[in-house]
Amino acid sequence: MKILVAAFDSFGGEKINPALEAVKLLADEIAGAEIVKLEIPTVFHKSAETLREKALEVKPDMILCVGQAGGRFAITPERVAINQDDARIPDNEDNQPIDVSIQEDGAPAYFATLPIKAMVEKIKAAGVPAAVSNSAGTFVCNHIMYQALYLAEKELDNIQAGFIHVPFIPEQVVDKPEKPAMSLEDIAKGLTAALEAMVEYHGKEDIKKIGGTTH
């Protein structure tokens, strides 16, 4: 089994992206699966082109994309990506699409096909905070999750794909005392647990566990 794990470079004035740094710490093999690591640019469409090129080259069994969500307390697998770019800030090449469809022939939304609730439980069992997220936003993270699932549907025989957001690391919140942080080591531990769950539940139904929110 082969899993493509893609993570964004730094953006929004940050000097580091904990998503990418944590992916770099992952073992090359987890639960018997080969882990193929990929850095992708925080740029609308270019990120998807980079992912597509690598995916068509390595033919993974699953795709996991990882990004930063500063302000979150936990590692959060995303449930859904919507077919909409609506950028609050410019990407790393100053693109700032507003109310633009990601793929004209794509579905209005794609749900993650990874076992997100099993992933959350496995991360928590490893001693790392985790929760299902029901919004990936409308920036490049939502964009790449949507594009990964679109790619899986159109060109990769509907392989499983999805996205995880991770918190800031401590060095990023030195000047943001109101923001939570998680150590890079714990983020890497959480991602490892998530990948273990992906392998364990590959091709199987996800567990039934509360993961909804009131609003």
Closest among 34, 83, 74, 51 to 161, alpha carbons compared: 51
**87 inside domain:** yes
**126 inside domain:** yes
Q: List pLDDT tens digits, range 65-95.
A: 999 999 999 999 999 999 999 999 999 999 9
Backbone region of residue 174 per phi and psi (left: phi > 0; alpha: psi in -120 to 50; beta: other values): alpha
* Given 45, 65, 143, 165, the catalytic residue: 165
pLDDT for the residue numbered 152:
98
Q: List pLDDT tens digits, range 43-55.
A: 999 999 999 999 9
Q: List pLDDT tens digits, range 173-212.
A: 999 999 999 999 999 999 999 999 999 999 999 999 999 9
Q: List pLDDT tens digits, range 30-43.
A: 999 999 999 999 99
**171 inside domain:** yes
**211 inside domain:** no
* Given 45, 65, 141, 196, the catalytic residue: 141
**81 inside domain:** yes
Structure tokens at 61: 């069994």
pLDDT for the residue numbered 118:
98
Q: List pLDDT tens digits, range 89-123.
A: 999 999 999 999 999 999 999 999 999 999 999 99
Concerning whether 78 is annotated as a catalytic residue, the answer is yes
* Given 45, 65, 78, 196, the catalytic residue: 78
Containing domain of residue 133, as a range? 2-200
Q: What is the rounded CA–CA span in Å between residue 194 and residue 166? A: 12
Give the chain's domain count.
1
Concerning whether 141 is annotated as a catalytic residue, the answer is yes
pLDDT for the residue numbered 109:
98
Q: Which long-range contacts (CB under 8 A, 24 or more apart) does 132-135 make?
A: 132/76, 132/77, 132/79, 132/211, 132/212, 133/69, 133/72, 133/76, 133/77, 133/78, 133/79, 133/165, 134/78, 134/79, 134/80, 134/212, 134/213, 135/78, 135/80
41: CATH: 3.40.630.20
CB atoms within 10 A of CB 103: 14
**189 inside domain:** yes
pLDDT for the residue numbered 191:
98
Concerning whether 29 is annotated as a catalytic residue, the answer is no
Exposed, middle or buried by CB within 10 Å (0-12, 13-18, 19+), for 202? middle
Per-residue pLDDT band for 58 (boundaries 50, 70, 90) equals very high
pLDDT for the residue numbered 128:
98
Per-residue pLDDT band for 140 (boundaries 50, 70, 90) equals very high
